[in-house]
Structure 1
Amino acid sequence: MAGTHGDSTRSVKAVASQDVPGAAVAAPPVFASAYHLAADEDDTLDSYGRRSNPTWRQLESALAQLEGAAAALSFASGMAALTAALRVLAQPGHTLVVPADGYYQVRAYAREYLASRGVTVVEARCADMVDAAAHADVVLAETPSNPELDVVDLHRLALTCRSRGTVLVVDNTTATPFGQQPLSLGADLVVASATKALAGHSDVLAGYVAGSHPELMERVERERLHAGAILGAFEAWLVTRSLGSAGLRFDRQCQNAAAVALTLRSHPAVRSVRFPGLADDPSHEVAARQMRRFGGIVSFELADADAVHALVDRSALLVAATSFGGIHTSVDRRARWGDSVAAGFARMSMGIEDTDDLVSDLQQALGPA
Structure 2
Amino acid sequence: MNEQQQSHSSHGPQHGFETLAIHAGQEPDPHTGAVVPPIYQVSTYKQDGVGGMRNGYEYSRSANPTRTALEENVAALESGRRGLAFASGLAAEDCVLRTLLKPDDHVIIPDDAYGGTFRLFSKVVERWGIEWSVANTSDPAAVRAQLRDRTKLIWVETPSNPVLGITDIAVMAEVAHTAGARLVVDNTFASPYLQQPLTLGADVVVHSTTKYMGGHSDVVGGALVVNEDALGEELAFHQNSIGGVAGPFDSWLVMRGIKTLGVRMDRHCSNASRVAELLEAHPRVSQVYYPGLPSHPGHEVAVKQMRAFGGMVSFRLREGERAALEVCDRTKVFTLGESLGGVESLIEHPGKMTHASTEGSALEVPSDLVRLSVGIESIDDLLADLAQALG
TM-score tier by shorter-chain length is over 0.9
Q: CA–CA distance in 2 between the matches of 1:99 and 1:249?
A: 28
**Corresponding residue number in structure 2 for 1:36:** 46
SS at match of 2:207: strand
* Counterpart among 328, 331, 342 of residue 315 in structure 1: 331
Q: CA–CA distance in 1 between the matches of 2:278 and 2:170?
A: 32
Q: For the aligned residues, what is the CA RMSD?
A: 1.9
How many pairs does the alignment contain?
A: 367
**Corresponding residue number in structure 2 for 1:85:** 96
**Corresponding residue number in structure 2 for 1:18:** 28
1:2 aligns with 2:15: no
Alignment of 1:292-311 (within 5 A): 292-302=307-317, 303-311=319-327
**Corresponding residue number in structure 1 for 2:156:** 141
What stretches of structure 1 move > 4 A for 4+ residues in a row? Answer: 3-7, 19-22
**Corresponding residue number in structure 1 for 2:361:** none
Q: Which stretch shows the higher mean deviation, 153-162 or 68-77? A: 153-162
Query: How far did 1:253 drift?
Result: 0.5
What amino acid sits opposite 1:351 in the alignment? Answer: G
**Corresponding residue number in structure 2 for 1:196:** 211
Q: CA–CA distance in 2 between the matches of 1:74 and 1:112?
A: 24
**Corresponding residue number in structure 2 for 1:64:** 75
Structure 1 pair 67/132, CA: closer, same or farther in 2 (3 Å)? farther
SS at match of 1:141: strand
Query: How far did 1:237 drift?
Result: 0.7
SS at match of 1:271: strand
What TM-score results when the alignment is normalised by the length of structure 2? 0.89
Q: Which stretch shows the higher mean deviation, 121-130 or 13-22? A: 13-22
Q: CA–CA distance in 1 between the matches of 2:320 and 2:147?
A: 39
Q: Is the 8 A contact 1:296 1:349 kept in 2?
A: yes
Structure 1 pair 128/111, CA: closer, same or farther in 2 (3 Å)? farther
What amino acid sits opposite 2:110 in the alignment? Answer: P
What amino acid sits opposite 2:369 in the alignment? Answer: F
Structure 1: state its 5+ residue gaps.
Answer: none
1:131 aligns with 2:131: no
1:348 aligns with 2:363: no
Query: How far did 1:192 drift?
Result: 0.9
Q: Is the 8 A contact 2:29 2:38 kept in 1?
A: no
**Corresponding residue number in structure 2 for 1:281:** 296
Alignment of 1:94-133 (within 5 A): 94-128=105-139, 130-132=143-145
Q: Is the 8 A contact 1:325 1:351 kept in 2?
A: yes
Q: Which stretch shows the higher mean deviation, 12-21 or 212-221? A: 12-21
Structure 2: state its 5+ residue gaps.
Answer: 7-13, 359-363
Query: How far did 1:242 drift?
Result: 1.2
**Corresponding residue number in structure 2 for 1:220:** 235
* Superimposed CA distance per residue, residues 91-126 of structure 1 (whole angstroms, 9 cap, x where no aligned partner): 112111112211122122212222222212112222
SS at match of 2:133: strand
Q: Which stretch shows the higher mean deviation, 296-305 or 71-80? A: 296-305
What amino acid sits opposite 1:105 in the alignment? Answer: G
1:364 aligns with 2:388: yes
SS at match of 1:137: strand
Query: How far did 1:71 drift?
Result: 1.2
**Corresponding residue number in structure 1 for 2:253:** 238
Query: How far did 1:354 drift?
Result: 1.6
Q: Is the 8 A contact 2:328 2:348 kept in 1?
A: no
Q: CA–CA distance in 1 between the matches of 2:16 and 2:329?
A: 38
Query: How far did 1:40 drift?
Result: 6.3
Percent identity (aligned) = 38
SS at match of 1:356: helix
